[in-house]
Structure 1
């Protein structure tokens, strides 16, 4: 069994707990939070509780993996602590809010010989997996462009839940918090971005960061991309979608969350087969939870001594793109990504 500990008992920690408890080969061993009241939410007597991360790790050498679920601005310093204690790391998205912090996190893991995985669970949605298969087969021919859209609602009450929400130092805006999943998918499917031109604004929410953004990107392969992201949609989440357009295929994954196949037009695939695939996805649009995929993959990565499926470098790519979008929005100029 691989023993997991969680640091940070905020909302997202519940998904990690559920994933660990359901994952084959994983054991929920310990939890850490600086607020002792949050620790009382853990009722399992076999789970050890701590308010100090270093103490937890020093007292329990049998902990193999630490899941970092604290506010995003704290990911880098906690990754350093965990890596120096020679434990493997799963860190929530975004891996950090700064480019140098993301690069440092990768370096901490490499220097200490530990594995670093970043939580981008949407890669494991059944519809997205089918889309990835078509991309890998070359079904699109020459790629034309891609479109990533996040039209969601995060009202003021959402941001008022905690002081760190909506701040530049600890949280980030709609791009870092919501659209990063879709940007990760776009990069995973389309490849790296060469340049970006963007606009962003804070229109409706009383926060430091953007609540709406739009960008046009050019990929290194010459294809274009359009990004639209907002938490200003009234009165609830409207749409999350990812569309890829190519010489011989058009595929769009959409829905209130991007779990359903809206369009599947691929050269050589009959309408009957496309409809069959749509119904297959509709019957089980969520599949195994993405967090469980990440946990089980880390169990395998440790056991087999290999890299996780979603590496630190994978986590760095959307952070780099988002920072370029924000720079372009601030300067009004096209930004070339090194």
Structure 2
């Protein structure tokens, strides 16, 4: 029985709770922690765990195997390092950090203490994206010319006002680093390493430090071009989360509110996967989808059977570096090569 501690009982924590509930014979949340007592107690009531408001006190327990970090992004490295130094495995929500320096520090400490570091990238497990990934891996597109991503969502001012850390550079990041980080990861996962980026960002309507809107152009090492259009100002609600890939021998668009619907699927040559496109669409309860359940399947397989993590710290670092290059380009008004210095 793998025993987890859940750190941070806010918006995304319920996805972790629901996912682990699916594996009751393999895993259990035995401790929860939040600086807001009411939230900690509410999570404890649902999970049967012991509640804490002090992370340091929670780490004194001797029955833990791993911690789940669903706290503000800027806290992930420090909290992950503290857990790793106690010999605990670390499951970090995206992004794993708000700077490469702290991301690397977390990776290094986990390596030194021989514990596993998992970074949650649950969108990779969406049935629609799994089908698209297979098409890419089978080279069904031939040469890929272009990939286009739209994230047209809304986050009202009340969302940012719910917590002081939201919309700050130190703890959160903006639309690219927070809401669209899974889509940056998706681009790199499907098309490979990025050679350079050029971007513009703006804070048009929300009273926050970071951007609520941005556009980015990406050149991939394989020669493909990509673009991302991201905003949290869509009226009146989340409208679209999509990716379109245009290749020599195929065209695919996966859209819907969160890449949950195959809107176009056409290739030069037939493959049996083409039979699946009518049954692959799903209706997510929110933009997070159902991927956390599948994600924990891999986490448990790694911790129980020694398998390799699908998305470890080094994999999680890739999208962080691209986003930080986007921010650097927007600040400096020029194309930024990768890797970053």
TM-score, normalised via structure 1 length: 0.94
The alpha-carbon distance between structure 1 residues 58 and 140, as it changes in their structure 2 partners (threshold 3 A), is: same
Q: What is the CA-CA distance between 1:19 and the residue it aligns to?
A: 1.0
The alpha-carbon distance between structure 1 residues 273 and 66, as it changes in their structure 2 partners (threshold 3 A), is: closer
The 3-state SS of whatever aligns with 1:146 is strand
CA contact (8 A) 1:153 1:236 kept: yes
Q: What is the CA-CA distance between 1:306 and the residue it aligns to?
A: 3.1
Q: What is the CA-CA distance between 1:257 and the residue it aligns to?
A: 1.7
The 3-state SS of whatever aligns with 2:31 is strand
| Match of residue 325 from structure 2 | 324
Cα RMSD of the aligned pairs, angstroms, is 1.8
The 3-state SS of whatever aligns with 1:139 is coil
CA contact (8 A) 1:126 1:285 kept: no
Q: Which structure 2 residues correspond to residues 142-153 of structure 1 after superposition, within 5 A?
A: 142-153=143-154
| Match of residue 65 from structure 1 | 66
Q: Which residues of structure 2 form unaligned runs of 5+?
A: none
Q: What is the CA-CA distance between 1:79 and the residue it aligns to?
A: 0.6
Q: Which moved more, 1:33-42 or 1:314-323?
A: 33-42
Distance 1:246 1:117 in 2: 32
Q: Which residues of structure 1 form unaligned runs of 5+?
A: none
Q: Which structure 2 residues correspond to residues 36-185 of structure 1 after superposition, within 5 A?
A: 36-41=37-42, 42-44=44-46, 46-59=48-61, 61-185=62-186
Q: What is the CA-CA distance between 1:55 and the residue it aligns to?
A: 2.6
Aligned residues: 334
| Match of residue 16 from structure 1 | 16
Distance 1:131 1:190 in 2: 11
Distance 1:104 1:43 in 2: 35
The alpha-carbon distance between structure 1 residues 44 and 286, as it changes in their structure 2 partners (threshold 3 A), is: closer
Distance 1:229 1:311 in 2: 26
CA contact (8 A) 2:205 2:233 kept: yes
CA contact (8 A) 1:97 1:172 kept: yes
Q: Which moved more, 1:61-70 or 1:34-43?
A: 34-43
Distance 2:258 2:121 in 1: 15
1:256-293 superposed Cα distances (whole Å, 9 cap, x missing partner): 221010111112128x984x4332123x4559821112
Q: What is the CA-CA distance between 1:141 and the residue it aligns to?
A: 1.0
CA contact (8 A) 1:26 1:295 kept: no
The alpha-carbon distance between structure 1 residues 197 and 50, as it changes in their structure 2 partners (threshold 3 A), is: same
The alpha-carbon distance between structure 1 residues 45 and 218, as it changes in their structure 2 partners (threshold 3 A), is: closer
* 2:293 paired with 1:292: yes
Q: Which moved more, 1:4-13 or 1:37-46?
A: 37-46
CA contact (8 A) 1:249 1:265 kept: yes
Q: What is the CA-CA distance between 1:44 and the residue it aligns to?
A: 4.8
Distance 2:66 2:107 in 1: 16
| Match of residue 334 from structure 1 | 335
The alpha-carbon distance between structure 1 residues 109 and 273, as it changes in their structure 2 partners (threshold 3 A), is: closer
Q: What is the CA-CA distance between 1:36 and the residue it aligns to?
A: 2.2
Distance 1:4 1:192 in 2: 33
CA contact (8 A) 1:88 1:116 kept: yes
The 3-state SS of whatever aligns with 1:166 is coil
CA contact (8 A) 2:4 2:29 kept: yes
The 3-state SS of whatever aligns with 1:265 is strand
| Match of residue 281 from structure 1 | 280
Q: Which structure 2 residues correspond to residues 225-264 of structure 1 after superposition, within 5 A?
A: 225-264=226-265
CA contact (8 A) 2:160 2:166 kept: yes
Distance 1:46 1:226 in 2: 45
Q: What is the CA-CA distance between 1:148 and the residue it aligns to?
A: 1.2
TM-score, normalised via structure 2 length: 0.94
Q: What is the CA-CA distance between 1:20 and the residue it aligns to?
A: 1.1
1:105-137 superposed Cα distances (whole Å, 9 cap, x missing partner): 111111110001111111111010000111111
